[in-house]
Amino acid sequence: MRHNTGIDMKCALLTVFLALASTTFALDGEIGIHDPSTIVVDHGKYYVYGTGGRSLVSDDGWTWRRGVTPSRVGAAPDVIYLGDRFYMYVARGTGPQPKAEIDMIWSKTVDPNSPDYKWVDGGMVVNSNGVEDSNAIDPGVFLDPTTGRLWLVYGSYFGYIRLVELNPKTGGRLSFKVPPLNLAINCEASDMIYHDGWYYLLATHGSCCAGANSGYNIRVGRSRKVTGPFLDAEGVDMIQGGGKLLIGSGGRTIGAGHFGLLNLGDGVQKFSMHWEADLDRGGSSVLDIRPLLWKDGWPVAGENLKEGTYEIQSVRTGTALDMAVEGVPVGGWVRRFRGGPPPAGNRTEPSSGPGAGAQPGGPGGPGGPSGGFPGGMFAGTGKPIPDQDAAQIDKDWPAGNVDAGMSNYLCQAQQKWQITPVPDAGGYPGSPYFKITIAGTDRTLAATADAELVVLPAFTGAPEQLWRFDQLADGSWRIMPKAVPNSQQPLALSAVGASFATLSKFDPKSDKQRWLLKTP
Amino acid sequence: MNAYRKYLVSALAVLSGLTLVAMTGQAPAPKSYVPTLTSPATPALLTGADGFIKRWFLLEPIGVNGLTEHEVQAMVKKEYFPDQYTVIPHDGDKETVGGSTLTWHAVDTRLYNVNLYHFAYSLGKPTSNVLFWAVTIVNSPEEMHDVRLAIGSNAASVWWVNGQEVIGIYGDIQTVIDDGVSKRMTLKKGPNVVRAAVINGGGATDFCARFLDANDKPIKGLTVTLSEPGK
């Protein structure tokens, strides 16, 4: 946020946040928050803290509710779990801006129902005197996974984004004798992450706190050293205002700010942020969680899955998930298809329209030299062939359970999956659970008790019929059932063969459980 | 060549063969289904690091027509010869199919796959619009759970393990390793019978098969034989 009107005024503004029920975008439940911290997980619940003492809690990362205000209320806190403690860093104004300080509190748990829930003051870790080129707000705490050293970046538009080292055993400042190091300028809400040999400094550019007129956007630079310099993709140092865009306004959401990494393990990374204005929620500031992808050494903001009809294609095999029924070529059977059609009693052949023109024995028919088309076997019908949908060909489909399979994608109805969010079925960080049905039908993909796949005749809402889609770092998707009967182990859709899919433990090093979702 | 000379040459040939066996202690060189298939020269063959099953009984091809699922399923449900889903043949056994006499051949493949085109062509048999029956015995040292049969075939094929149909892949397809994969199954300790019907439309025809373990890794060290112990 742009801190030019005083923290107190900012807090006052935040009190007008609307507590809106979920509509159609971002997360579900009560998600009003500004300047969210990094999301932390404690005893299976997700917690996030924002300016003005606002906190949110969720059982699944999808549906959120109001949480308990921590002992210290201020601006734009950040939280990290280290050792056996949660350390929270939170800023407060100590005079006219930019006079401020960042204080630390800690607790063994962030679960207010736990007997161990007790915030303890850890003291001030950094301040700004109101004159220097720094505003000691907007902390971002970072544990270097390569060294175990703990760092804090902080600052706002008044002066520099700065770096100080903390004591990982106490969460406090390691040495007040070591002056802060300047890393960036013309930004705020900074945070740092490490990925594949690089340190990434993420910071928010643009103006905040103006609702739908907020220009907030998250940008990034990288360095081989935690101390910088952090250059963007064009080589511009962030200390000269550089920064590659990670995410900005889009769709019906405006003003992206306050990056926080949410590492879900197995290479699945997401990030939290807030929108300054969600137009579907009256322009209120709301929490969001997005997939974090990587391309050419740079983080990229992914998209949570949207409802639609998709081909589900295996990265490993290139074949597409289908319901294992005998396919019918789009446009109907004609003799040019090698191997020929099945006997007449088992085929679906349009009585009119594309594919219906081939007359046995005629000059363009199966027996003729043109192979079924007047212009020759490669000439087509001369007019567009409509899409194939289930209603055209499903009369020969078995009524009961059908195996799932895989095949080369041929635009056929049994290869097109409608993926639809299921209301009130819960979710996971960033998304609700979905059902996966053959488009135009209620035939539903489900996990079986022997960890295989089946297509059921109808959706009933059982956990094994609910699916989770996590976008992976390369943009492909991990697809997992909410539950597998008789199994406690999370399993993912897996292409064990080119023609066969199953469920198995996710292996982040393999392509077997990576899927592309393509719009037919 | 007159009859006497034919007899003499044959007698000398038999004699020389016997002499060779006596001198070397080895059987005569096995038949070759050039260039990739030979007759087995050892009692058993182990699956290697890639897990492929390289020893099979193959029946000379049966004329058929069709590659769709409907056609192939009808094809393999038709009885061509007695006990076609249970027979464990011997090398040289005969079957009468539609008035023709077809022979079972024991073969080893030098490659990961069994080239049915080489097999049929070397015998002067048709290679297009044909069905091949294949049988082998995979001996497991212990009961193995959550394994899968994984196959590839040119073209369509249907597979059974211990009498249960476990895989069917259809259409005018090429052999892709681990194309068709069964659901998880249990390999019995001892012999397990793997049977396949491979149907070709035209051109090349072959298949490959192996078992995968619970982690989808090829199972090596399985003993492949062409008879069950004690039989």
> Residue B61: what are its φ and ψ, rounded to 5°?
-65, 150
Sign of CA dihedral A311, A417, B179, A479: positive
- Report the predicted TM-score, pTM, of the whole model to 2 decimal places: 0.86
3-class SS of residue B4: helix
Domain A7-301: assigned CATH number: 2.115.10.20
Let me know if B128 is exposed, middle or buried by CB neighbors in 10 A (0-12, 13-18, 19+).
middle
3-class SS of residue A396: helix
- Residue type at A398 in one-letter notation: P
Least confident of A142-151, A256-265, B16-25, B66-75: B16-25
* Distance from C-alpha of B15 to C-alpha of A342, rounded to nearest angstrom: 57
DSSP letter assigned to residue A231: B
Do the Cβ atoms of A497 and B172 come within 8 Å? no
Do the Cβ atoms of B68 and A326 come within 8 Å? yes
List Cβ<8 Å contacts ≥24 apart for A377-385: A377/A336, A381/A331, A381/A354, A381/A355, A381/A357, A383/A354, A384/A354, A385/A330, A385/A331, A385/A354, A385/A355
Which residue in A323, A347, A496 has the most chain B C-beta atoms within 10 A of its own C-beta, making it the best mutation to test that interface?
A496
Let me know if B60 is exposed, middle or buried by CB neighbors in 10 A (0-12, 13-18, 19+).
buried
* Distance from C-alpha of A97 to C-alpha of A400, rounded to nearest angstrom: 69
Q: Does any CB of chain B come closer than 8 Å to the CB of residue A342?
A: yes
Nearest residue to B182 (alpha-carbon basis) of B156, B209, B220: B209
* Distance from C-alpha of A404 to C-alpha of B170, rounded to nearest angstrom: 15
Q: What was the pLDDT predicted at B65? A: 95
Beta bridge partners of B81: none
Q: Å from A312 to nearest chain B CA?
A: 17
> Residue B86: what are its φ and ψ, rounded to 5°?
-130, -15
CA B188 to chain centre: 21
Q: Where are the domains of chain B?
A: 1-30, 32-225
Fold designation for A308-330+387-518: Trefoil (Acidic Fibroblast Growth Factor, subunit A) (2.80.10)
Which chain A positions have a beta carbon within 8 Å of B176's beta carbon?
498
Rounded (5°) CA angle B35-B40-B42: 135
CA dihedral B145, B151, B156, B157 (to 10 degrees): -40
Q: Where are the domains of chain A?
A: 7-301, 308-330+387-518
* Distance from C-alpha of A253 to C-alpha of A436, rounded to nearest angstrom: 27
Q: What was the pLDDT predicted at A321? A: 98
Q: Å from B127 to nearest chain A CA?
A: 15
CA dihedral A225, A228, A232, A233 (to 10 degrees): -30
Which residue in B65, B70, B72, B175 has the most chain A C-beta atoms within 10 A of its own C-beta, making it the best mutation to test that interface?
B70
Q: Does any CB of chain A come closer than 8 Å to the CB of residue B182?
A: yes
* Distance from C-alpha of A245 to C-alpha of B44, rounded to nearest angstrom: 64
Locate A139 and state its tokens: 């902390």
Q: Which residues of A402-439 are buried (b: 16+ CB within 10 A; e: fewer)?
A: bbbbbbbbebbbbbbbbbebbeebbbbbbbbbbbbbbb
Q: What was the pLDDT predicted at B149? A: 98
Summary mean pLDDT of chain A: 89
- What are the tens digits of pLDDT across the range B137-191? 999 999 999 999 999 999 999 999 999 999 999 999 999 999 999 999 999 999 9
Give Cβ neighbours of residue B171 (< 8 Å, ≥ 6 apart): A339, B67, B68, B155, B156
Q: What was the pLDDT predicted at B172? A: 93
Do the Cβ atoms of A500 and B180 come within 8 Å? yes
- H/E stretch holding A58 reads strand A55-58
Q: Does any CB of chain A come closer than 8 Å to the CB of residue B67?
A: yes
Q: What was the pLDDT predicted at A361? A: 32
Under the phi-then-psi rule, with left for phi > 0, alpha for psi from -120 to 50, and beta for the rest, what region is A169? alpha
Residue of B nearest to A449 (CA): B184
pLDDT > 70? residue B5: no
Which residue in B65, B181, B210 has the most chain A C-beta atoms within 10 A of its own C-beta, making it the best mutation to test that interface?
B181
CA B223 to chain centre: 15
What is the spatial order of strands in the sheet that A140-143 belongs to? A140-143, A150-154, A160-166, A181-185
Query: Which residue stretches of chain A have pLDDT < 70?
Result: 1-25, 335-375
Domains A7-301 and A308-330+387-518 share a fold: no
Which chain A positions have a beta carbon within 8 Å of B179's beta carbon?
497-499
Locus of tokens 């998304």: A431
- What are the tens digits of pLDDT across the range A321-378? 999 999 999 998 775 544 455 444 444 333 333 333 333 333 333 434 444 556 677 8
Locus of tokens 């023709």: B100
Residue of B nearest to A333 (CA): B68
* Distance from C-alpha of B157 to C-alpha of A127, rounded to nearest angstrom: 74
Q: What was the pLDDT predicted at A11? A: 34
Do the Cβ atoms of A512 and B184 come within 8 Å? no
Do the Cβ atoms of B178 and A496 come within 8 Å? yes
Q: Does any CB of chain B come closer than 8 Å to the CB of residue A502?
A: yes
CB A407 within 8 A of CB A430: no
Distance separating the N- and C-terminal Cα atoms of chain A: 41
Do the Cβ atoms of B179 and A497 come within 8 Å? yes
Residue of A nearest to B178 (CA): A497
Q: Does any CB of chain A come closer than 8 Å to the CB of residue B201?
A: yes
Q: What is the DSSP string of A325-360?
A: S----TT---TTSTT-PPPGGG----SSSTT----T
Which chain A positions have a beta carbon within 8 Å of B205's beta carbon?
none
CB A283 within 8 A of CB A442: no
Beta bridge partners of B138: B192, B224
Do the Cβ atoms of A504 and B176 come within 8 Å? no
CA atoms within 13 A on the CB side of A209: 19
Q: Count other Cβ atoms within 10 Å, centred on residue B221.
A: 11
Query: Which positions 432-451 of A are in contact with B (Cβ < 8 Å)?
Result: 450-451
Which chain A positions have a beta carbon within 8 Å of B70's beta carbon?
326, 342-343, 346
Q: Å from B176 to nearest chain A CA?
A: 8
> What ipTM, to 2 d.p.?
0.82
Do the Cβ atoms of A339 and B212 come within 8 Å? no
Q: Å from A325 to nearest chain B CA?
A: 9
Do the Cβ atoms of B68 and A497 come within 8 Å? no
Q: Å from A500 to nearest chain B CA?
A: 6
CB A277 within 8 A of CB A212: yes
* Distance from C-alpha of A346 to C-alpha of A341, rounded to nearest angstrom: 9
Locus of tokens 């996971």: A428
Which chain A positions have a beta carbon within 8 Å of B216's beta carbon?
496, 504, 512
| CATH classification number, B32-225, choose in 3.40.50, 1.10.1760, 2.60.40, 2.60.120 | 2.60.120
Longest dimension (CA), chain B: 65
3-class SS of residue A485: coil
Q: Is the peptide bond before B35 cis (omega within 30 degrees of 0)?
A: yes
pLDDT > 60? residue B20: no
CB A7 within 8 A of CB A75: yes
Q: Does any CB of chain A come closer than 8 Å to the CB of residue B148?
A: yes
CB pairs under 8 A between A and B: 57
Which chain B positions have a beta carbon within 8 Å of A498's beta carbon?
176, 178-180
